[in-house]
């Protein structure tokens, strides 16, 4: 199975909320995204946004940086491949 096939299979496993969170992180790639910011973009609480990201982190699709008073999220290379596979599947 190629990496693209892996990404497509991973995309199929994601819930709609996880797909939306990944899409938001993909739009803001290169920028810091906090739980509160992600929650506002998704129109959910920051706690729900954090829960979605934990699921994505477990799959290696996002990276989470935690400091004493701030947590930030970024899409990983695997996450970008998964997002691209989802866009390909939608077209």
For 19, 31, 37, 65, 78, the CA distances from 8, given in Å and listed in that order, are 12, 25, 27, 26, 11
Tens-place pLDDT, residues 19-75: 999 999 999 988 889 999 999 999 999 999 999 999 999 999 999 998 888 899 999
Return the CATH number at 79: 1.10.10.10
Say if residue 5's pLDDT is above 80.
no
Report the candidate in 54, 61, 50 with the shortest Cα–Cα distance to residue 22.
61
Q: 86: domain range?
A: 3-90
- What does the pLDDT read at residue 2? 45
Say if residue 89's pLDDT is above 80.
no
pTM assigned to the model: 0.84
- As for how many domains the chain has, the answer is 1
């Amino acid at each position: 199975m190629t990496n693209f096939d892996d990404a497509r299979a991973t995309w199929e496993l994601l819930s709609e909320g996880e797909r939306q969170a990944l899409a938001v992180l993909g739009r803001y790639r290169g920028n810091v995204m906090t739980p509160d910011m992600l929650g506002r973009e998704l129109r959910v609480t920051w706690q729900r946004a954090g829960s979605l990201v934990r699921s994505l982190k477990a799959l290696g699709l996002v990276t989470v940086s935690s400091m004493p008073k701030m947590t930030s999220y970024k899409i990983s290379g695997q996450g970008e491949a998964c997002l691209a596979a989802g866009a390909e599947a939608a077209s």
